[in-house]
Amino acid sequence: MRRSGRHPPDWLRRWRLRTRSPRPNGVRSRGSRRCVGVCMCLSGPRHLRRFPIFIHPGRSVSELGMFPELNNLLNTSPDRAEQGKLTLLCDSKTDGSFLVHHFLSFYLKANCKVCFVALLQSFSHYSIVGQKLGVNLTVARERGQLVFLEGLKSAVDIFFQPQEEPHPLRFLREASAGSLQPLHAFVREALTPADGEDAAWRFPVLLVDDLSVLLSLGLGAVAVLDFVHYCRATVCWELQGNVVALVHDSGDAEDEENDLLLNGLSHQSHLILQAQGLATGFCKDVHGQLKIFWRKPTGQRDRSLIYQYKIQDKNVSFFAKGMSPAVL
């Protein structure tokens, strides 16, 4: 007997029941674990279901970092973050700053010592976003966990206030900007543990937002690559920490310096997260797509994944291409 068109098929009704959130804040219990997010994957009627992300008893949602779904895709969490890695964040035809906010909250919640070189936004901007994500940057800076270099404010101070000591952005006053040694010295001093501080934080992390600004300020790609190389030697190898940097991909074939910087960092990175705008233009239900590349050691095959995403007020949802909840 043919089913009436007014009634959905059984598989669709079961899928709707699985994806509903009858409890407050979208949290559902399943045994002794709690569901805190969902991830769309695969296609076809048999696979039109959301796979929940579970956390163990006694752990809060905030312990997973900013985006639980992104942590699930990267197979990581604050309590088991890897060390000695360079992570490259890049955006093309979209704003990839949500990745910076994710890793900032991720490492602060992982109890790491973070040196944040912010060249794009002010401290108040990151602080407001951080409060939405469950981290207090002011408290972290006061207790010494966060060392924040505010590039916008420092650029004004270096021109209009006398400098008694070498400034990390001293190259702004030089006629031929070509060296970032003062900035590297600032990073080394900020992340090198002092006496009695070894047990306070797990490991150091350098976060830069973003390196493309240095090119706009007159530095060459080679100078920026040298800076990243020395930071890797100090943070990743000597101090066994991590480096996370954002680079903007302009997509302009004539911008050779930016292409050189992006290609050079891509070959050095262990993990690459590339946020891209949609080729079809703006969509209110799908804000872009995220390409994830894992660089493997020589002899092993690199791995990559592509997901689309939608940015919400305090979270970002990820799903496979064509599997947006609005489409389904």
The per-residue pLDDT string of the chain (328 residues; one tens digit each, 9 = 90 and over) reads 444 445 555 544 444 444 444 444 444 444 333 343 333 333 333 333 333 333 333 444 444 445 888 999 999 998 888 999 999 999 998 999 999 999 999 999 999 999 999 999 999 999 999 998 889 999 999 999 999 999 888 877 777 766 666 778 888 777 566 789 989 999 999 999 877 655 688 999 999 998 999 998 888 999 999 999 999 999 999 999 999 999 998 777 678 899 999 999 999 999 999 999 888 877 788 888 999 999 877 667 788 899 999 888 888 888 888 777 666 5
pLDDT attached to residue 199: 66
Burial class (CB in 10 A: 0-12, 13-18, 19+), 203: buried
pLDDT attached to residue 28: 43
In whole angstroms, what is the distance from residue 143 CA to residue 138 CA?
Answer: 9
Q: pTM, whole model, 2 decimals?
A: 0.77
pLDDT attached to residue 146: 96
Going by the DSSP 8-state scheme, the letter that residue 75 receives in this structure is T
Contacts 24+ apart (CB under 8 A), 267-271: 268/86, 268/228, 268/229, 268/232, 269/86, 269/87, 269/88, 269/295, 270/85, 270/86, 270/87, 270/294, 270/295, 271/74, 271/85, 271/86, 271/87, 271/88, 271/295
pLDDT attached to residue 124: 94
* Cβ(158)–Cβ(170) below 8 Å: yes
* DSSP per position, 2-13: PPPTTS--HHHH
- According to DSSP, the residues that pair with 318 across neighbouring strands are 309
Phi-psi region of 185 (alpha: psi -120 to 50; beta: other; left: phi over 0): alpha
311 Cα distance to chain centroid: 13
β-bridge pairing 271-276 and 288-294: antiparallel
Question: What is the SS3 assignment for 252-282?
Answer: CCCCHHHHHHHHHHHHHCCEEEEEECCCCCC
In whole angstroms, what is the distance from residue 133 CA to residue 313 CA?
Answer: 10
In whole angstroms, what is the distance from residue 322 CA to residue 328 CA?
Answer: 9
pLDDT attached to residue 117: 96
pLDDT attached to residue 163: 63
In whole angstroms, what is the distance from residue 278 CA to residue 284 CA?
Answer: 11
Residue 299: count of CB within 10 angstroms of its CB: 5
Residue in 131, 124, 115 with CA at minimum distance from that of residue 189: 115
Contacts of 217 (CB under 8 A, 6+ apart): 171, 172, 177
β-bridge pairing 86-92 and 271-276: parallel
> Tokens standing for 280?
């079809």
What are the two backbone dihedrals, phi and then psi, of residue 137, each rounded to the nearest 5 degrees? Answer: -70, -30
In whole angstroms, what is the distance from residue 282 CA to residue 285 CA?
Answer: 9
- According to DSSP, the residues that pair with 34 across neighbouring strands are 29, 55
* Cis? peptide before 259, omega within 30° of 0: no
In whole angstroms, what is the distance from residue 149 CA to residue 168 CA?
Answer: 9
pLDDT attached to residue 29: 41
